[in-house]
A and B are shown apart, each in its own frame.
Chain A
Amino acid sequence: MTGRALDNLLRLLGMLMIGGIVCFLLIPIVVTVVMAFDARAYLGPLPPPAYSLRWFRRFFSDDYFLRGLGTSVQLALLSATLSLCVGVATAVALDRGSWRGKEALTSLFLSPLIVPPVVTGFALLLFLSGLGLSNGFARLLCGHIIITVPYTIRSTLAGLSGIDGSLTEAALILGANERSAFWDVTFPLARTGIVCGAIFAFAISMDDVAVSIMLTDANTYTLPVALISSMRANFDLSIAAASVLLMLATLALILVLEKLVGLDRIIGQGVFR
């Protein structure tokens, strides 16, 4: 076989692989969306003969899910706010510090990212029960703070590192003190990174299962934990409705990120494009 023919064959194979994998990624999502609007009371073959909103109504009339949703939203707002405060303070200190071992300290602050979440959750469970803390919400809050803080630290650090030092210098020369130079110059310039960190923290907290499942109690549980346990119990299509709502939430989040930051800044792009 000549090189040219082999090239064409490989190009064809490549296109087939790309088509195949995009189908694999998309088809399950399309199926879920279609099934969420299924009017039948049971799980039947596709396509559904009629469409309705019954599964959405069912989701919104289920106390078990609604309680989980309430806890999740409160928990995500509170833990994102707290971990943002802690994360910004830590990142500013790390960015300004010039002592030896700063690199190591930064890695130490990012280390929860490489610990499997189940391990973090289990360790926290043992520790908090040892202390006698049995309040579900407080335990969940501890867990959600530690899994979100590394993200707020990392993106604030990224925001701070892009700032030209001469701008702060100019503010100081023009008579600003350290404090107002930070709040009026540095902070607004790092805003993109900080906002990005807050959004990440919120999303991570809303989506977590592995840590939360260890720390819930009988009355306090998050929406993902509620969905997981009913997913294991029976294959009810109100979970498909919940999935559609979660997809919409993800889409809204991406649009906000795109408006505020620009997606290409999040993933980073190369030189030769």
Chain B
Amino acid sequence: MPQGRPVKRAYPALLLPGAAVYLGFFFLPLAGLFRESFRQFTPGGVGSAANAPFTLANYSELLTPSFAEFFLETMRISLLASLTGLLFAFPLAYWLARRLSPGWRATAVGFFVTLMFLSVLVRTYALELTLGAAGPLRPILLGVGIFPNGRGYIELLVAGGLLHYIVPMATLTLLATIQNVDPRLFDAAQNLGAPGWKAHLTITLPLCARGLLAAFLFSFTFSISAFVIPMILGKGRVLFISNLIYNRFSEVADYPSGAAISIVLFAVALTIVYVTSRQLHRRSMP
């Protein structure tokens, strides 16, 4: 901070509109959601009755194997997509940062930014049209013995949908990270006799650990809260937690159960962000 800078006058009143919006559209609704999640639901009604008794049933229901399965499946596919995304994004970002001329790099960055901004609807529809059960790949898939309506293939397709966003996003995140690693360190390791792979493994990768962790955090939180991608590509056979919440609302109008699932998803997302950002913080101050 430069000295002699005048004390800026604070205007706490400017916080009022923001405070009102956040209270009315965010914090109070979340508190209401929390309360609703403990209400007893009578099948056939829409939501809980005005003075329904409080119960833990909405949460204990989630521990049954059929519900736990949805959570595990969301986690499994999200983890698969995030790790695969990093595996592909890292060499891609390295290539962009170190092998391309500045002009081509700017073009490539424009390309990946456009891909990242692409509407989720376009992404999902394009994948379903190309790789889905009615797409042009159908004869090839059937030829090699893959059934495009099989569960395994649908799971892969959902992961592919997530990957289509994760790869551009992680590539751009890692591009900045790799450009902050001094390439002379790698050259020094090679001059001292280390083969390229070993120099990357012991120099480049550890120096990029923070960027990799950040990219993983973005990818994983994006994946577990994904809604459109599993809804369309999963065709009702693969349901993510988000889809389950929507079904509770739209199909059975069981708001208390939807609220309980929401609270659990919220807690999971919060935990992931907390744990990862603590790791990020630790690494930034060795």
Q: Find the A residue at minimum CB distance from B232.
A: A231
Sample of 15 more A-B contacts, CB < 8 Å, known A25-B115, A122-B259, A266-B113? A7-B196, A24-B164, A32-B130, A85-B17, A126-B33, A126-B259, A210-B225, A227-B121, A240-B125, A240-B129, A263-B110, A264-B106, A264-B109, A270-B175, A272-B182
A123 to B88, CA, bound (A): 37
Contact call A267/B113, Cβ cutoff below 8 A: yes
Q: Find the B residue at minimum CB distance from A3.
A: B195
Contact with B along A235-273 (1 / 0, CB 8 A): 100011001001100110110011000011011111111
Contact call B179/A272, Cβ cutoff below 8 A: yes
Chain B residues 233-272 with CB under 8 Å of chain A are: 241-242, 245-246, 249, 255, 258-259, 262, 265-266, 269-270
Contact call A116/B232, Cβ cutoff below 8 A: no
Contact with B along A14-31 (1 / 0, CB 8 A): 110110111011011101
A127 to B30, CA, bound (A): 8
Does A101 make an interface contact (CB < 8 A)? Answer: no
Q: Find the B residue at minimum CB distance from A237.
A: B129
Given A43-B134, A258-B110, A269-B179, do A246 and B119 touch, yes or no (CB 8 Å)?
A: yes
Residues of A within 8 A of B5 (CB): 165-166, 169
- Would you list 7 pairs from A and B whose C-beta atoms are within 8 A, ordered by A residue? A6-B197, A11-B196, A35-B129, A122-B259, A149-B18, A149-B22, A273-B97
Does B82 make an interface contact (CB < 8 A)? Answer: no
Given A209-B121, A273-B102, do A119 and B227 touch, yes or no (CB 8 Å)?
A: no
Q: Which residues of B contact A (CB under 8 A)?
A: 1-2, 4-15, 17-18, 21-22, 24-26, 28-30, 32-33, 36, 47, 87-88, 91-92, 94-95, 97, 102, 105-106, 109-110, 113-115, 117-131, 134-136, 160, 163-164, 167-168, 172, 175-183, 194-198, 221, 224-225, 227-228, 231-232, 241-242, 245-246, 249, 255, 258-259, 262, 265-266, 269-270, 273
A189 to B100, CA, bound (A): 33
> In the assembled complex, how far is the CB of residue B14 from the closest CB belonging to chain A, in whole angstroms?
4
